[in-house]
Amino acid sequence: MSYCPAENRYETMPYRRAGRTGLRLPAVSLGLWHNFGSVDVYDNCRAMARTAFDLGITHFDLANNYGPEPGSAEITFGRILRDDLGPFRDELIISSKAGYLMWPGPYGEWGSRKYLIASCDQSLKRMNLEYVDIFYHHRPDPDTPVEESMLALDQIVRSGKALYAGISNYGPERAAEAIAILRELKTPFVLHQIRYNMFDRAHEKAGSFRLLEKEGVGGIVFSPLAQGLLTDRYLNGIPADSRAGRGGFLKRDQVTPELLSKVRALTDIAVERGQTLAEMAIAWVLHQPGVTSALVGASRPGQIRDVVAGLRQLEFSDEELDRIEQILNRAD
């Protein structure tokens, strides 16, 4: 039966402007890094995408290498577009990226013009799309001039293969260089995608958010749940079907007793706020000035519903923020 999205899908999701650009993104976006590969069950992928869209999540984030196997998340998403979401293309913001290893030889990774343009073409074919909304350089390349990578993004946008350009994982100095080049080129540049959560504040400390605010660029933060650590997922051991249990990017030895003790203390605050820890963790990243959207992952539709439910309570008192800070800083 053909898919009819929820009629009330735009009623509760907040849409936040990416910096000073015209683009608004849902406060929560869905990433397809894990759980959308060729090894995953298609019906579950499809259910997650439908759930997300029904809840007002208009932004789906991909990259050339998402899978496993690399490329297969884009193929899955192409199938979801064909089966369900395709008729709503103008309601969707679909992104992809290139930067990590995709094919053998000297042109299959990093930031050369050759790689970025070829990879964008491959992504479009896998998803059966004429254009993506945002195309990112996925990671800085120490050996290619930033100008070359930015000119490639500019070319991708000007040739109609992407509407906007983005960068990801750039430190603030390199990001400032990229922003200056894109501004000179008048390339529509909207987003910097960086890792940020209560347990990983490297970009906050390095000044990335200050830069984004100053430059009017949006910040979209990935792994806001620290890959599932900032949830109840690991409180009673490592479930076999969890990211750490399945051998994903989260490793078993990252689930330490010290960290779980902080997770428990943070959960107490979340419960006092009437939230799950996952919900509070999302509210916490959205509270940081410069953050436009929290880019979450999920392994089942219920997790998406949980995270979105948390958007009802985004405010923090100073006392709550202080208590969170104390927990994060304590040496367990």
Under the binding rule (CB under 6 A), the answer on residue 34 touching ligand NAP is yes
Q: Which stretch binds ligand NAP (CB under 6 A): 8-16, 147-155, 219-227, 258-266?
A: 219-227
Separation in Å, CA 123 to CA 75, 102, 161: 9, 11, 10
The string of DSSP letters for 314-328 reads ----HHHHHHHHHHH
- Max distance between CA atoms of the chain, in angstroms, equals 54
Q: Of 299, 301, 308, 327, which one interacts with ligand NAP (CB under 6 A)?
A: 299
Under the binding rule (CB under 6 A), the answer on residue 45 touching ligand NAP is no
Under the binding rule (CB under 6 A), the answer on residue 208 touching ligand NAP is no
- Site mask for ligand NAP (CB under 6 A), range 64-103, x = bound: ----------------------------------------
Q: Of 225, 263, 280, 311, which one interacts with ligand NAP (CB under 6 A)?
A: 225
Q: Which stretch binds ligand NAP (CB under 6 A): 16-24, 199-207, 218-226, 312-320?
A: 218-226
- Tell me, letter by letter, the H, E, C secondary structure of the chain: CCCCCCCCCCCCCCEEECCCCCCEEECEEEECCCCCCCCCCHHHHHHHHHHHHHCCCCEEECCCCCCCCCCHHHHHHHHHHHHHHHHHHHHCEEEEEECCCCCCCCCCCCCCHHHHHHHHHHHHHHHCCCCEEEEEECCCCCCCCHHHHHHHHHHHHHCCCEEEEEEECCCHHHHHHHHHHHHHHCCCEEEEEEECECCECHHHHHCHHHHHHHHCCEEEEECCCHHHCCCCCCCCCCCCCCHHHHCCCCCHHHCCHHHHHHHHHHHHHHHHCCCCHHHHHHHHHHHCCCEEEEEECCCCHHHHHHHHHHHHCCCCCHHHHHHHHHHHHCCC
Cα(231)–Cα(264) distance, integer angstroms: 9
- In the complex, the smallest distance separating the C-beta of residue 44 from ligand NAP, rounded to whole angstroms, is 11
Under the binding rule (CB under 6 A), the answer on residue 293 touching ligand NAP is no
- In the complex, the smallest distance separating the C-beta of residue 66 from ligand NAP, rounded to whole angstroms, is 7
- In the complex, the smallest distance separating the C-beta of residue 212 from ligand NAP, rounded to whole angstroms, is 15
Q: Which stretch binds ligand NAP (CB under 6 A): 32-40, 50-58, 115-123, 262-270?
A: 32-40
Residues 242-261 that bind ligand NAP (CB under 6 A): 242-243
Under the binding rule (CB under 6 A), the answer on residue 267 touching ligand NAP is no
Task: Please say which residue, 304 or 317, places its beta carbon nearer to ligand NAP.
Answer: 304
Count of beta carbons in the 10 Å neighbourhood of residue 159:
12
Q: Which stretch binds ligand NAP (CB under 6 A): 8-16, 127-135, 172-180, 297-305?
A: 297-305
- In the complex, the smallest distance separating the C-beta of residue 2 from ligand NAP, rounded to whole angstroms, is 27
Structure token pair of residue 305? 């519903």
Cα(53)–Cα(41) distance, integer angstroms: 19
- Site mask for ligand NAP (CB under 6 A), range 121-150, x = bound: -----------------x------------
Count the residues of the shown chain that bind ligand NAP, applying the rule CB under 6 A: 30
Q: Of 102, 307, 308, 327, which one interacts with ligand NAP (CB under 6 A)?
A: 307
Under the binding rule (CB under 6 A), the answer on residue 19 touching ligand NAP is no
Rg over CA atoms, the chain: 19
Q: Which stretch binds ligand NAP (CB under 6 A): 125-133, 260-268, 284-292, 294-302?
A: 294-302
Q: Of 295, 308, 311, 324, which one interacts with ligand NAP (CB under 6 A)?
A: 295
Give the residues lining the site for ligand NAP (CB under 6 A). Answer: 31-35, 61, 138, 168-169, 193, 222-228, 231, 233, 242-243, 278, 295-299, 303, 306-307
